Amino acid sequence: MDFVVLSSSRGTTFQAVIDAMKNGSLEARCLGLIADREERGCVAKARSAGVPVKIVDRVKGEEREAYDRRLNEAIGVLGLAPPTPGPSPTGGGGARSEGVLACLGWMFLFSPWFVKKWHKRILNVHPSLLPKYPGGHAVEDALKAGDRETGMSIHWIDEGVDTGEILVQKKCSIEKGDTVDSLKARIQDLEKIWYPWVLQDLETEKLKMENGK
């Protein structure tokens, strides 16, 4: 299975994906990274690992779908195509494609056009136990609520906000004295383990389909 990473972050979990490919625990192939700015930390990590990089700058005032169409073009240049009709090698919802889009700290919402085009092929990780605390302030919301535990959810992106089908959820405790930064770090420790695991699981399911198992 091939995948393209979308990131506008430092690339902490992306580095875990790179490491998993290097040590052989992740057999799927990363075709490249797309970021919105050259100075993002994920870009430096990709270049250091020899992963191709495409920068798709955001233009002030540009509509979401117009940006997503440019994003889709960049994905195609890297060699990944959207799903086409037929049985799904990753077990998801009546589409056939060799790969997925792996969102790792991608800070922008997708247009309905893009989500439909890449139906059940956009993988995301969210720092809460969905459906609890969707949106951009999940860690802060868990702390403010006084919760004793939180975690992370890896899910397909759909037309809603963090409402897509959940593939994996893992919990972590909220400790006395936790700050947003300390709790985020603990959640990211889970992401670094389980995001590569999910990618490998999708790769394994694809191989099963190809071998008729």
pLDDT digits (tens, 9 = 90+) for 123-145: 999 999 999 999 999 999 999 99
Handedness of CA 12, 109, 119, 141 (dihedral sign): positive
3-state percent breakdown (helix, strand, coil) of the chain, nearest 5: 40, 20, 40
Measured in degrees and rounded to the nearest 5, phi and psi for residue 114 equal -70, -45
Q: Which two tokens stand for residue 151?
A: 């975690």
Q: Which two tokens stand for residue 28?
A: 């799927």
Task: Note the pTM of the prediction, 2 decimals.
Answer: 0.89
Q: Is 126 a catalytic residue?
A: yes
Active-site pick, 119, 126, 137, 155? 126
Give the domain extent around 29.
2-131+154-169+192-210
Number of domains the chain is built from: 1
Residue 45 within a domain: yes
Our CA angle for 142, 134, 11, nearest 5°, is: 85
Residue 137 within a domain: no
For residue range 83-127, list pLDDT tens digits in order: 876 544 444 443 334 689 999 999 999 999 999 999 999 999 999
CATH number at residue 104: 3.40.50.170
